[in-house]
Structure 1
């Protein structure tokens, strides 16, 4: 379940789309994206814009079963950077408005355990933010993000990794079962408290996790945004912004299978 207030997610969705759009407007959209090597910035933009429009349709139709994306009426991605930026902004703005109208507790289909509109609001915030980071890295920029949002992205990701339903469908998640190995992630930003610390345990039944400060087999410290980028394999474990203490191989195995 979400750990931030709805209004925080609404503002973040539009802000992240705006940041993404600014990168698109100022960058050669034919440039390859190193962290998504099969895509250009134009294709990355198309992916996010189509995701926004697909989720908008799910919420508008109150879909309680899978809605094939090809059934969604869509406006094709424009050809110029300026038009692409506007297309991205408009899709995010409409998504935000449709979710507000529906309410976050309204039941709709999702591929996760949480079958509410609120799942999609949170998911689209973090999907947009991570791919905004991809675009910024491709453009040669640095990635900044509010600590509470980056920490929430980590929490959401761990929720996916620890979901039995997802593990049943994703063989790589099933590989995270273990016999008690532990990982501790610690965001060094001020003000996060327990929301910035995560203890992950690999059990025979799967991954479990909780917030808290506990010594683990491997400990990872970084700013929340850098923890997010590390966990989502946007930066390597030996990045100078990241401090790893303990079993590096355990961290490597975790990243390979999430």
Structure 2
């Protein structure tokens, strides 16, 4: 398991993934192409969503504090012409990176997640935007007919960020306590525990996995595991042991 990514690396990854997104957009036959992994969305809708999110978080890290009401989005729609849309996306990303750099990693800000494993800071917001850009770049590549395996470092962090930001909650688990192990081949393993106290995760060693059998376990490449968590590939596409229905119950919770 790698150490947490530094703030400068997170900013670089936002820039790189956003550039890859724009490249997929430039290569697409047209912006009206459907995005198979985002039902009901076209490539234009996806681009508008990503640029809106970049500007939204640029505002948040500089102008909000934990506990504030959810900020409003600016309501600006991206241009529909590809020649104008691509620089619009680049500008939105630059706004985000500049705001994050000006705020610094430790600045507190509003966030929608519980501050248990992922704090309400600019660094956590940057990490969330890396994951968003990573997955939506895959979406754009898929719609363009050129899907690529996720970069390993970004995919590893996206897995752990998802478990920390999306899955770590205090909402009681409505069923019997359970554990789900996620094994990304040659990249790392994690255990998600759900019970009356909510949901939490730990990094998992081979010894822990062997000594404490989980309710279910999933095995795949690091790219497959990240895509599975974001429901970009079907549950049955990876090898699973134990309670096959647990993953679906976790996704529905």
Work out whether the TM-score is over 0.5. Answer: yes
Question: Aligned residue for 1:171?
Answer: none
**Aligned CA distance change for structure 1 residues 201 and 60 (closer, same or farther; 3 Å):** closer
Question: For 2:4 and 2:229, how far apart are their aligned partners in 1?
Answer: 19
Show CA shifts across 1:100-133 (max 9, x none). Answer: 1110101211112222111211111111111111
Show CA shifts across 1:191-247 (max 9, x none). Answer: x3xxx21111221222222111413221111111110111111100222xx221222
Find the partner of 1:181 among 164, 178, 183. 178
Question: Aligned residue for 1:157?
Answer: 162
Question: Aligned residue for 2:248?
Answer: 252
Could you tell me whether the CA contact under 8 Å between 2:155 and 2:222 is conserved in 1? Answer: yes
Find the partner of 1:131 among 127, 136, 145. 136
**Structure 2 regions of 5+ residues with no counterpart?**
none
Give the alignment of 1:6-85 within 5 angstroms.
Answer: 6-27=7-28, 28-63=30-65, 65-66=68-69, 68-70=71-73, 72=74, 74=76, 76-85=77-86
Superposition RMSD on alpha carbons, in Å?
A: 2.0
Show CA shifts across 1:35-87 (max 9, x none). Answer: 211211101100110110111112233455235334x384x412222322221
Show CA shifts across 1:118-160 (max 9, x none). Answer: 1211111111111111111222222322222212111121122
Question: For 1:218 and 1:225, how far apart are their aligned partners in 2?
Answer: 20
Question: For 1:120 and 1:139, how far apart are their aligned partners in 2?
Answer: 28
Give the alignment of 1:85-124 within 5 angstroms.
Answer: 85-112=86-113, 113=115, 114-124=119-129
The answer to whether 1:216 aligns with 2:214 is yes
**Structure 1 regions of 5+ residues with no counterpart?**
168-173
Question: For 1:108 and 1:237, how far apart are their aligned partners in 2?
Answer: 35
Could you tell me whether the CA contact under 8 Å between 1:108 and 1:117 is conserved in 2? Answer: yes
TM-score of the superposition, structure 1-length normalised? 0.85
Question: Aligned residue for 2:194?
Answer: 202
Question: For 1:61 and 1:184, how far apart are their aligned partners in 2?
Answer: 38
Show CA shifts across 1:22-44 (max 9, x none). Answer: 11111111011122112111011
Question: For 1:144 and 1:85, how far apart are their aligned partners in 2?
Answer: 23
Question: For 2:112 and 2:23, how far apart are their aligned partners in 1?
Answer: 30
Report the secondary structure of 2:201's partner residue.
Answer: strand
- How many aligned residue pairs are there? 238
**Aligned CA distance change for structure 1 residues 110 and 244 (closer, same or farther; 3 Å):** same
Question: For 2:132 and 2:47, how far apart are their aligned partners in 1?
Answer: 12
Report the secondary structure of 1:69's partner residue.
Answer: coil
- Comparing 242-251 and 120-129, the one that deviates more: 242-251
TM-score of the superposition, structure 2-length normalised? 0.86
